[in-house]
Structure 1
Amino acid sequence: MLNKQLFLTLSLSALLLAGCSTTHYISINPQPEINTNTLSNDRVINVSTSTKLATTVGSIKTGLNERADIYANNDVAASVKESILKGLRDLGFTPDQGVTPAADLQIEITKMSYTTKVEALKTIATLDFELKATLAAKGQTYKANYGSQKVREYGTMPYQQAIEDDMNDLASQTVSRLLSDPNIIALLK
Structure 2
Amino acid sequence: MLNKQLFLTLSLSTLLLAGCSTTHYISITPEVDVKSASLTNDRVINVTTSSKLTNAVGSIKTGINERADIFTTNDIKQSVKESVLSGLRELGFTPEQGVMPAAELQIEITKMSYTTEVETLKTIATLEFELKTTLAAKGQTYKANYGSQKVREYGTMPYQQAIQDDMNNLASQTVNRLLNDPNIIVLLK
| TM category, shorter | over 0.9
Q: CA deviation at 1:36?
A: 3.0
Work out the CA distance in 1 between the residues paired with 2:184 and 2:37.
15
Structure 1: runs of 5+ lacking an equivalent = none
Work out the CA distance in 2 between the residues paired with 1:158 and 1:12.
20
Q: CA deviation at 1:14?
A: 3.9
Counterpart position of 1:174: 174
CA offset digits 1:94-113 (Å, max 9, x no partner): 00000111100000000000
Q: CA deviation at 1:42?
A: 0.7
Work out the CA distance in 2 between the residues paired with 1:152 and 1:43.
43
Structure 2: runs of 5+ lacking an equivalent = none
CA offset digits 1:37-72 (Å, max 9, x no partner): 221111100000000001000000001110000000
Counterpart position of 1:61: 61
Counterpart position of 2:151: 151
Work out the CA distance in 2 between the residues paired with 1:66 and 1:188.
48
- What is the CA RMSD across the aligned residues, in angstroms? 1.4
Counterpart position of 2:25: 25
SS in 2 for 1:136: strand
Question: Relative to structure 1, is the Cα distance of residues 13 and 140 closer, same or farther in structure 2, using a 3 angstrom cutoff?
Answer: closer
Counterpart position of 1:142: 142
Amino acid at match of 2:35: N
Work out the CA distance in 2 between the residues paired with 1:64 and 1:77.
35
Q: CA deviation at 1:144?
A: 0.4
Alignment pair present for 1:72 and 2:95: no
Counterpart position of 1:121: 121
Work out the CA distance in 1 between the residues paired with 2:122 and 2:35.
38
Counterpart position of 1:16: 17
TM-score when normalising by structure 1:
0.93
Work out the CA distance in 2 between the residues paired with 1:12 and 1:103.
61
SS in 2 for 1:33: coil
Work out the CA distance in 2 between the residues paired with 1:11 and 1:186.
64
Amino acid at match of 1:107: I
Q: CA deviation at 1:16?
A: 3.4
Amino acid at match of 2:186: A
Work out the CA distance in 2 between the residues paired with 1:16 and 1:174.
37
Q: CA deviation at 1:74?
A: 0.3
TM-score when normalising by structure 2:
0.93
After TM superposition, the runs of 4+ consecutive aligned structure 1 residues lying more than 6 A away are: none
Work out the CA distance in 1 between the residues paired with 2:47 and 2:38.
20
CA offset digits 1:112-161 (Å, max 9, x no partner): 00000011111110000000000000000000000000011111100000
SS in 2 for 1:147: strand
Q: CA deviation at 1:35?
A: 1.3
Amino acid at match of 1:16: L
Counterpart position of 1:36: 36
Work out the CA distance in 1 between the residues paired with 2:72 and 2:14.
34
Alignment pair present for 1:84 and 2:84: yes
Counterpart position of 2:111: 111
Amino acid at match of 1:15: L
